[in-house]
């Protein structure tokens, strides 16, 4: 299976989900993620799975809730406005400790915005767009290969921690075609004794009215899991940081552009490298802090008005200045603009 | 001496415990009917109830079967997910009028239109019970609720929605019936309808829907006895009882 195939990001993610053993997909069309439901509608019946085009994103995520409560690997995908509608279900899934994968191929916002890739949904993804004290694991790929690899990984993480795992990729990644080596299945087996339909008379619910501190206790159970995830799942990439004076910090598509800016700046003799968080929650605070020691400045680059920058600042705790360069509304930052900003520090 | 014969006993699918429903509330009656039917059709070990958000949110506590609690109005979507994973299990979506006809209208219509092989039990008590007696989509014209203090005015909020008639415009449902549980003869008829709706699912026939006219004495501000009378006098003329669909498949 180590053959390179030219695939759209969306299709690579969909095929990776099937490789991961996902047999239930529920979704609602929205650009720029339509290739995922379209691919699933064709592929899932071939592997004995179920595809349903739901009546809304709300219905789709609640179908995922039912399938997940039944012990099956299931997923949904959407783009920004649709993810807003899924937040209700995501909160309920988190409360009931049900695993699932949600792929968010983001577009420009707020409102209907536009259909170009954008990174304006970092807050929504990492801070929980739904109600209540809960967390979602958020993974941010920067190319089609990673989109496939992280989707596969997302199913194992979801089952291991009984959590919702979100893949946050912008519309450019979903739409671009790149050579992809499809990942191998991990074949990990998870105990799902808690599911309904397995003869155990189980209840899957999120309402906890009694005893009085029942919900508080449950919140602490969740917290323990979140603490473990924060310990175990901090993913990132560093690039040419050893001797760097400046650190660029970006995720997803912005990070690709930063890589190019690093090369250009290095050819001009400017010592710069980059840090790319791959897990946005949990955010690799420790690693970012450690790698930032001795740097003169961090430039955070985002396709937004500045959202991840808050985590970057939290990571360095005021030890070094953090600057921002970004562009919202579906536009892409140019390597030249990033270079110009870094050169202004010299 | 003739040997003892059991002529009545509690359904084995019911659990022990006290009711949390108000005196005269018919949710308990409907639960009992579902439990008896599950016993009689031998599906106790294979049933999964989807709880609504409403007074019946704790329905799974009353049964010794699997239970999944859905978000408000989403029970048919959750039921769809469960049924697609477990096609051989008996999936029951139990919902109130706010859950089924207001916030969950889209989920209701589309699950019915897909012809999901599930059983939907719709408890129509013409009011929002759990939240303290606000107007429901099924609140009667002129009926006073906490959000229609001078009675439901059609010019302002429209007329009560008839769920069976609405679903009867779709091709895919195989069974649609409206029953009531305000007195014994009607409770017996309600049980027959629920049993049929469950058997349909067992036999793989498709989507079955039973609307049960029900009481909410607490929020109607009536005694249990008076609430049964009000149901008969006010609701039944507007929500005619009977079968709307019984398709042979
Ligand atoms: C999204 C959301 N909106 C509102 C509520 C509050 N709420 C709880 S139950 C309910 C209505 C219940 O009425 P009904 O469905 O008729 O059931 P009943 O209590 O009468 O049996 C509402 C509005 C909620 N839990 N979730
Ligand atoms: S409030 Fe109404 S529906 Fe709820 S338990 Fe009491 S009588 Fe029943």
Which CATH number belongs to the domain containing residue A48 in this structure? 3.40.50.970
Is residue B15 domain-resident? Answer: no
Contacts with B66 from chain A: Cβ below 8 Å: 196-197, 200-203
CATH number of the domain that residue B137 is part of:
3.40.50.970
A204 and A105 share one domain: yes
Asked if residue B65 has pLDDT above 70, the reply is yes
| Distance in Å, CA A207 to ligand 1 centroid | 13
Q: How many helices (H) and strands (E) does chain B have?
A: 10, 7
> What pLDDT is attached to residue B3?
77
Query: What is residue A86's three-state secondary structure?
Result: helix
Is residue B221 domain-resident? Answer: yes
**What does pTM read for this prediction?**
0.97
**Which of residues A233, A266, A289 is at a domain's end?**
A233
**Which of residues A233, A257, A281 is at a domain's end?**
A233
Assess A45–B contact: CB distance below 8 Å, yes or no: no
A146 and A29 share one domain: yes
> What pLDDT is attached to residue A63?
98
What's the number of domains chain A is made of? Answer: 2
Q: Are A36 and A49 in contact (CB under 8 A)?
A: no
Please tell me the residue having the least CA distance from ligand 1 atom 2: B72
CA angle A84, A85, A88 (to 5 degrees): 100
Range of the structural domain that residue A290 is part of: 237-344
Range of the structural domain that residue B153 is part of: 26-246
Nearest CA-CA distance, residue A149 and chain B, Å: 26
A89 → chain B, closest CA residue: B71
Annotate B171-199 with DSSP letters as a single string.
SS-SEEEEEE-SSHHHHHHHHHHHHHHHH
Partnered with residue A248 across adjacent β-strands are A274, A299
A102 and A223 share one domain: yes
Rg of the Cα trace of chain A?
Answer: 20
Mean pLDDT to the nearest integer, A210-223 = 97
A33 and A98 share one domain: yes
Burial of B18 (0-12, 13-18, 19+ CB in 10 A): exposed
CATH number of the domain that residue A252 is part of:
3.40.50.920
Is residue B160 domain-resident? Answer: yes
A152 and A225 share one domain: yes
Asked if residue B1 has pLDDT above 80, the reply is no
Is residue B211 domain-resident? Answer: yes
Greatest C-alpha distance within chain A? 68
- Residue B145 in tokens: 């609720």
A192 and A319 share one domain: no
Tell me the pLDDT band of B4, cut-offs 50, 70 and 90. Answer: confident
**Which of residues A208, A233, A258 is at a domain's end?**
A233
Taking residue A217's Cβ as centre, other Cβ atoms within 10 Å add up to 10
> What pLDDT is attached to residue B168?
98
Query: What is residue A181's three-state secondary structure?
Result: strand
Query: Which atom from ligand 1 is nearest to the alpha carbon of B102?
Result: 15
A157 and A256 share one domain: no
ipTM of the complex: 0.96
* Residue in B110, B95, B14, B18 with CA at minimum distance from that of residue B62: B14
Find where tokens 């671009």 sit: A176
> What pLDDT is attached to residue A2?
80
What's the number of domains chain B is made of? Answer: 1
A142 and A90 share one domain: yes
Is residue B6 domain-resident? Answer: no
A188 and A212 share one domain: yes
Find where tokens 């008969």 sit: B232
pLDDT in tens, A153-164: 999 999 999 999
């Amino acid at each position: 299976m180590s053959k390179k195939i030219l695939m759209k990001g969306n299709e690579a993610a969909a095929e990776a989900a099937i490789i991961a053993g996902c047999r239930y997909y529920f979704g609602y069309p929205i650009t720029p993620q339509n290739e995922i439901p379209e691919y699933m509608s064709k592929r899932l019946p071939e592997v004995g799975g179920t595809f349903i085009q739901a009546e809304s994103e709300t219905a789709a995520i609640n179908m995922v809730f039912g399938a997940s409560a039944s012990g099956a690997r299931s997923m949904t995908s959407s783009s920004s406005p649709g993810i807003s509608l899924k937040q209700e279900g995501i909160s309920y899934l988190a409360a009931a400790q049900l695993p699932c994968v949600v792929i968010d191929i983001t577009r420009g916002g707020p409102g209907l915005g536009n259909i170009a890739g954008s990174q304006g949904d970092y807050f929504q993804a990492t801070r929980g767009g739904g109600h209540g004290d809960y967390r979602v694991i958020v993974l941010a790929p920067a190319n089609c290969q990673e989109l496939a690899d992280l989707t596969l990984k997302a199913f194992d993480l979801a089952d291991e921690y009984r959590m919702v795992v979100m893949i946050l990729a912008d519309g450019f990644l979903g739409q671009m075609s790149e050579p992809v080596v499809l990942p191998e299945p991990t074949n990990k087996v998870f105990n799902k004794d808690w599911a309904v339909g397995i003869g155990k008379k189980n209840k899957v619910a999120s309402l906890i009215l009694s005893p009085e501190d029942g919900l508080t206790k449950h919140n602490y159970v969740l917290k323990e899991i979140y603490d473990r995830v924060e310990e175990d799942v901090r993913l990132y990439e560093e690039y040419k940081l050893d001797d760097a004076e400046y650190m660029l910090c970006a995720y997803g598509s912005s990070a690709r552009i930063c890589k190019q800016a690093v090369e250009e700046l290095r050819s001009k003799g400017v010592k710069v490298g980059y840090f790319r968080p791959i897990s946005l929650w949990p955010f690799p605070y420790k690693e970012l802090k450690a790698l930032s020691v001795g740097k003169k400045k961090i430039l955070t680059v985002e396709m937004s008005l500045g959202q991840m920058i808050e985590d970057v600042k939290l990571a360095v705790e005021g030890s070094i200045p953090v600057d921002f360069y970004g562009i919202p509304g579906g536009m892409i930052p140019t390597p030249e603009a990033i270079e110009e900003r870094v050169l202004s520090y010299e | 001496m003739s040997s003892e014969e059991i002529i009545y006993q509690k359904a084995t699918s019911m659990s022990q415990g006290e009711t949390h429903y108000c005196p005269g509330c018919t949710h308990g009656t409907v639960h009992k009917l579902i439990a008896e039917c599950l016993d009689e059709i031998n599906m106790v070990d294979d049933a999964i109830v989807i709880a609504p958000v409403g007074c019946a949110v704790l329905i799974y506590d009353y049964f010794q079967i699997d239970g999944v609690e859905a978000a408000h109005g989403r029970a048919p979507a959750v039921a769809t997910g469960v049924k697609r994973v477990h096609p051989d299990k008996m999936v029951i979506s139990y919902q109130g009028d706010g859950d089924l006809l207001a916030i969950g209208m889209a989920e209701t219509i589309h699950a019915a239109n897909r012809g999901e092989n599930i059983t939907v039990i719709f408890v129509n008590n013409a009011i929002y019970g759990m939240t303290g007696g606000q107007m429901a989509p099924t609140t009667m014209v002129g009926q006073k609720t906490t959000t229609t203090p001078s009675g439901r005015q059609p010019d302002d909020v429209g007329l009560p929605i008839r769920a069976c008639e609405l679903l009867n415009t779709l091709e895919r449902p195989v069974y649609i019936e409206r029953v009531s549980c305000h007195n014994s003869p009607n409770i017996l008829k309600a049980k027959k309808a629920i049993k049929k709706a469950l058997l349909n699912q067992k036999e793989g026939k498709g989507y079955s829907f039973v609307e049960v006219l029900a009481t909410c004495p607490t929020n109607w501000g009536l005694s249990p006895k008076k609430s049964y009378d009000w149901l008969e006098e006010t609701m039944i003329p507007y929500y005619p009882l009977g079968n709307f669909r019984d398709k042979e498949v």
